Amino acid sequence: MKKNVVAIIPARAGSKGLKGKNIRDLFGKSLLERNIELLKQIDTIDKIIVSTDSQEYADIAIKAGAEVPFLRPEELSGDFATTEDTLIHTITWLRKNENYIVDIVVFQQVNDLFKRQDWIEECINSLLEDETLDTAFVAEVIDKNFWIEEDGKYIRLSNFGHKARQLKKHIYREDTGLASATRARILTEEKRRIGENVKIIPHTQFCVDIHTDFDFKVAELIAENFEEYKSILENGK
């Protein structure tokens, strides 16, 4: 049976770290437009929905080819609103107002730059091909050791001893804003974006998560000086 695959882009207007970051211009196009254009290239995506509290953002998104069937309510637009709440609201709104049942949610975060089309496609296809999977997402492969502080003591999270880097087990850092797909029921029934049975698509590519003006300038410098990164930014390839 055909699965309804919906990409949801949260894009509220009230960013505190970098004002207007979701529509900030990068080489002639806003971050929001670039994300929508990337998703439009993926045949398995049936709908691209932008969840925003701004009519300005909505107009930009619609012009770029996304749907904005509602403006996000105020209670989901503050600093403490969660991504899960935003995605669940979109799924529920589509079911109640358009009688449209979402099967797979493709989560996309506008401010995560240098994401690749094939990552998103692999996340979607993994769920379409394997019914037992709850979630598929991209994760950065890291070989460093990590610690946390607990009750005044430092505890090693990745206690693999003093092995050579090549012999250590990898740690995977979630990069769901770059590429992820999850079954809608995981969100609506369990109130989380990542289920128990997952597939991880590992990557070692340098990416930029934009929260400040410095982050934005780093992304600009990388794209200006490295053709590969300019191509990924422009085409997702």
Write the CATH number for 133: 3.90.550.10
pLDDT, residue 179, reads: 97
pLDDT, residue 158, reads: 67
Residue 111 inside a domain? The answer is yes
d(CA 89, CA 97): 12
Give tens-digit pLDDT for 110-168.
Answer: 999 999 999 999 999 999 999 999 999 999 998 888 889 999 999 887 655 566 666 66
8 Å CB contact between 103 and 94:
no
Q: Is this structure's pTM higher than 0.85? A: yes
Residue 151 inside a domain? The answer is no
pLDDT, residue 87, reads: 97
Residue 163 inside a domain? The answer is no
d(CA 51, CA 83): 10
Residue 143 inside a domain? The answer is no
pLDDT, residue 74, reads: 84
Residue 90 inside a domain? The answer is yes
Residue 205 inside a domain? The answer is yes
Which residues are CB-neighbours of 79 under 8 A, at least 6 positions away?
Answer: 14, 16
Give tens-digit pLDDT for 40-78.
Answer: 999 999 999 999 999 999 999 999 999 999 999 988 877
Q: Count of domains in the chain?
A: 1
| pLDDT (mean) for 207-222 | 94
Write out the residue range of the structural domain in which residue 57 sits.
5-138+174-235
Identify the band that residue 90 occupies on the pLDDT scale cut at 50, 70 and 90: very high
